[in-house]
A and B are shown apart, each in its own frame.
Chain A
Amino acid sequence: MEIFAGLLTVFSDPWVCIWIVAGALIGMVVGAIPGLTSAAAIAMLVPVTFYMEPLSALAFLYVIGKSGRYGGSIAAILFNTPGTAAAAATQIDGFPLSQKGLSSKAMKVATVSSAIGDFTGDVLLILFVGFIARVALMLGPPELFSIYFAAFVVIGSVIGDSILRGLASAALGIVIAMIGLDPITSQDRLTFEFYQLSGGVPLVPIIIGMFVFAEVFAQLEKRDRKVEAFHDPLRDDKAANRLTWAEYRPCLPHVFRSSFIGAFIGMLPGLGSSIAAFISYGEGKRRAANADKWGKGALEGVAAPEAANNAVSGPSMAPLLTLGIPGSTIAAILISVFHIHGFQLGPTLFLTSREIIYSLFAAGLVGIVAYGIIGYYGAAYVGRMILKIPTRILYPLIFLTSFVSAYAARGSLFDVWIMMIAGVAGWLMRKHGFNPPAFIISFVLARGAEEAFRQSLRLSDDGLMIFVQRPVAAVFIVIGVFVILMRARRMSRGAGP
């Protein structure tokens, strides 16, 4: 019932509605620009939202995240370049459709499938998040630490191609998060005599550096590369691009299956949209009656990964809201927004701030409708607009924006230096196959994990054995070890380090 009250709250405030529509539009455009991601847009906009009402701020960024996941499909279909990693699965069938002059039809399938997947994920989140929060309330520090441990391992070893560099990125995130005052003894740790670091390394400049500033460097390296010419989607035959029910009906089983796959994967920290999209694509192709057409321009091949990609969005909020563990990069960024507006993430959030949480879910549902409508009728125009934006003007502007955004978060030039260092580090990490999302998520998790670890040791009579004696804790430790062993086994079979 709370969701209906949430919807009422959203519709009764015109500003929230305006921010939701703005978020849908910004997310779609940013997601569609190759190289930029919704995480980068959110990182740049986080300082702006510090000055907004809590619900408007959260709804705006949450909807950018949703719409950005969908927006990646526009670039994948039109430019053969996925706007997001997850959209690479959409590209397999999306671009061949575009080559046949059916880009608008492919984008309509992507829009409808994304909206259905996103809606399914959100409904599952709304139905089950309260239950997860009640379970989370029963967990003590040992169980929490073991969940953190499993999350670190999954994030470090599953995201990206290299288990070694993934885990190293996660470990670096942990070490950097330790800079600042010790939470229990209040002594300085790893501050290297910089008094500004006593409060810890701020999250917002790190995120802006890793996702925005680093991308500017990456784009600068590509500036001399030849730009491929793509046809204008608005020049396609309009009659041939009309999507009929008969054409979309065969996509529905794939959309529903993929939605549930995406929703399940979304709940697991760190796995994210791209894994969901590729699993759904593979599963869809395996079950399809027309499997021979997949990869050559099948509408179902667009529908399946898009539904899964967006179904991740809602459920990825579940570990964040109930345990304070971000399931994705966007969720990690949202933590700073929750904190700045005075919300303490974790199971007690559902006792103290139930209204805002369900209003946020309602905003997510309204956001799906917003990007669904804008995307269905306007994706071709968005694609055309992106074709006309020269990157040689766009990226210098993003470069300047990253400085002022990093400064605006706390009004500190020291934060701008941190943003720069993080940016260069992020660019180098990406260049050498390391994993910035694993770094960021671990950075966010590390303090909570350390607190749970030290509290557990204080509770324990047998030191580290407490993590084995408590059954729930033991299960999550075993999951973590199992994931490492499985990845190491795959690695030894030739997948590379």
Chain B
Amino acid sequence: MIATLAKREALAGLAMVAVGLGFFAASFGIDVREQGGIAPRVFPMAGALLIALLGAVQAGLGTASADPEPEDQMAAEEGDQGHARDAWHVAGLLALSAAYVIGINYFGYLVSTAAAAPIALYLFGVRSISGFAVAAVLCPAVYHLVFFVGLGVFPPFGLWFDLLDVIQGN
């Protein structure tokens, strides 16, 4: 267990180093020829460098305490199976999120929400067909009425098709 935790610490540290160095390198793209001198670079660079340095310390501490033991490896493998199942759920929700936003862009809010609501319920364990049907009708209707009618927010219209156009007779 200790070895697994230490490995995670080291990985988290390396991720911090990568993020820090990435932003540090990007900071060199900030133009310093104008009247601000180097000042526009100071905060982004200092922040990025701090992340990288803290990451290096974190990785160092993690690596120093990582000493794999057989029991740890078994426990880690058992835990990994549970994590793998969780990872599939999470990947599914992530894919749904991306597809939902792309769907809103091309098919408008109503159709995309009607499609996304049952899938989200499914991912959380709902298996009722009537529940899916109710969600597909009620969710887009309620959100549309609250946000786009009630609050007057301009709805995101679909580039290819939008049910709102059909409903409004455009």
Which A residues are CB-close (under 8 A) to B156? 407, 411, 413
Which B residues are CB-close (under 8 A) to A399? 93, 97, 120
Which B residues are CB-close (under 8 A) to A123? none
Q: How far is the CA of A79 from the CA of B110 in the complex (A)?
A: 38
Which A residues are CB-close (under 8 A) to B18? none
Asked whether B75 is an interface residue with its Cβ less than 8 Å from the other chain, the reply is no
- The contact string, 1 if C-beta is below 8 Å from chain A, for chain B 13-32, is 00110011001001101110
Asked whether A224 is an interface residue with its Cβ less than 8 Å from the other chain, the reply is yes
Asked whether B101 is an interface residue with its Cβ less than 8 Å from the other chain, the reply is yes
Interface class of chain B by DSSP? helix
Q: How far is the CA of A453 from the CA of B40 in the complex (A)?
A: 11
* Max count, chain B CB within 10 A of own CB: residue among A48, A175, A403, A450: A175
Q: Which of B42, B48, B116 contacts A400 (CB 8 A)?
A: B116
Which B residues are CB-close (under 8 A) to A432? 8, 12, 15
Q: B44, A189: Cβ atoms under 8 Å?
A: yes
A379-430 interface (Cβ within 8 A of B): 391-393, 395-397, 399-401, 403-404, 407-408, 411, 413, 416-417, 420, 423-424
Q: How far is the CA of A416 from the CA of B48 in the complex (A)?
A: 25
Number of contacting residues on B, CB 8 A? 62
Q: A185, B124: Cβ atoms under 8 Å?
A: no
Q: How far is the CA of A185 from the CA of B57 in the complex (A)?
A: 35
Which A residues are CB-close (under 8 A) to B48? 171, 175
The answer to whether residues A395 and B124 also contact, given A187-B34, A407-B156 and a CB cut-off of 8 A, is yes
Of the listed stretches A215-223, A259-267, A355-363, name the one at the interface; the rest are far from the partner chain.
A215-223
The minimal Cβ–Cβ distance linking A219 to chain B, given in whole angstroms, is 8
Q: Which of B12, B20, B27, B40 contacts A165 (CB 8 A)?
A: B12
Q: A189, B40: Cβ atoms under 8 Å?
A: yes
Q: How far is the CA of A401 from the CA of B113 in the complex (A)?
A: 10
Q: Which of A190, A391, A413 contacts B105 (CB 8 A)?
A: A413
Q: How far is the CA of A403 from the CA of B8 in the complex (A)?
A: 31
The minimal Cβ–Cβ distance linking A456 to chain B, given in whole angstroms, is 11
Asked whether B36 is an interface residue with its Cβ less than 8 Å from the other chain, the reply is yes
- The contact string, 1 if C-beta is below 8 Å from chain B, for chain A 160-196, is 0000110110011011001000101101011010000
- The contact string, 1 if C-beta is below 8 Å from chain B, for chain A 363-376, is 00000000000000
Q: A396, B117: Cβ atoms under 8 Å?
A: yes
Asked whether B167 is an interface residue with its Cβ less than 8 Å from the other chain, the reply is no
Q: How far is the CA of A392 from the CA of B127 in the complex (A)?
A: 10
Asked whether A471 is an interface residue with its Cβ less than 8 Å from the other chain, the reply is no
Q: B23, A220: Cβ atoms under 8 Å?
A: no
Q: How far is the CA of A443 from the CA of B21 in the complex (A)?
A: 19
- The contact string, 1 if C-beta is below 8 Å from chain B, for chain A 65-103, is 000000000000000000000000000000000000000
Q: How far is the CA of A408 from the CA of B154 in the complex (A)?
A: 8
Asked whether A204 is an interface residue with its Cβ less than 8 Å from the other chain, the reply is no
Interface class of chain A by DSSP? helix
Which B residues are CB-close (under 8 A) to A393? 121, 124, 126
Q: B31, A408: Cβ atoms under 8 Å?
A: no
Asked whether B166 is an interface residue with its Cβ less than 8 Å from the other chain, the reply is no
Q: How far is the CA of A299 from the CA of B50 in the complex (A)?
A: 46
Q: B98, A400: Cβ atoms under 8 Å?
A: no
Asked whether A497 is an interface residue with its Cβ less than 8 Å from the other chain, the reply is yes
Asked whether A279 is an interface residue with its Cβ less than 8 Å from the other chain, the reply is no
Number of contacting residues on A, CB 8 A? 57
Q: A216, B30: Cβ atoms under 8 Å?
A: no
Asked whether A25 is an interface residue with its Cβ less than 8 Å from the other chain, the reply is no
The minimal Cβ–Cβ distance linking A45 to chain B, given in whole angstroms, is 11
Q: A400, B124: Cβ atoms under 8 Å?
A: no
The minimal Cβ–Cβ distance linking A410 to chain B, given in whole angstroms, is 10
Q: How far is the CA of A420 from the CA of B90 in the complex (A)?
A: 13
Which A residues are CB-close (under 8 A) to B117? 396, 400
From A51, which residue of chain B is reached at the shortest CB distance?
Answer: B151
Q: A168, B16: Cβ atoms under 8 Å?
A: yes
Asked whether B143 is an interface residue with its Cβ less than 8 Å from the other chain, the reply is yes
Q: Which of A192, A216, A433 contacts B26 (CB 8 A)?
A: A192
Q: B121, A392: Cβ atoms under 8 Å?
A: yes
The answer to whether residues A457 and B124 also contact, given A185-B34, A497-B61 and a CB cut-off of 8 A, is no
Which A residues are CB-close (under 8 A) to B61? 164, 497
Asked whether A293 is an interface residue with its Cβ less than 8 Å from the other chain, the reply is no
Which B residues are CB-close (under 8 A) to A167? 50, 54
Q: B16, A400: Cβ atoms under 8 Å?
A: no
Q: How far is the CA of A132 from the CA of B72 in the complex (A)?
A: 54
Which B residues are CB-close (under 8 A) to A449? 43
Q: How far is the CA of A187 from the CA of B29 in the complex (A)?
A: 11
B28-80 interface (Cβ within 8 A of A): 29-31, 34-36, 39-40, 42-44, 46-48, 50-51, 54-55, 57-58, 61
From B8, which residue of chain A is reached at the shortest CB distance?
Answer: A432
Q: How far is the CA of A449 from the CA of B44 in the complex (A)?
A: 12
Q: A190, B44: Cβ atoms under 8 Å?
A: yes
Asked whether B169 is an interface residue with its Cβ less than 8 Å from the other chain, the reply is no
Asked whether B162 is an interface residue with its Cβ less than 8 Å from the other chain, the reply is no
Q: What are 16 inter-chain pairs, A to B, with CB distance below 8 A?
A: A47-B151, A171-B51, A171-B54, A172-B19, A178-B43, A184-B35, A184-B40, A187-B31, A217-B93, A223-B89, A413-B101, A413-B105, A424-B94, A432-B12, A432-B15, A446-B43
5 closest residue pairs by CB, A with B: A396-B120, A174-B47, A175-B47, A185-B36, A392-B124
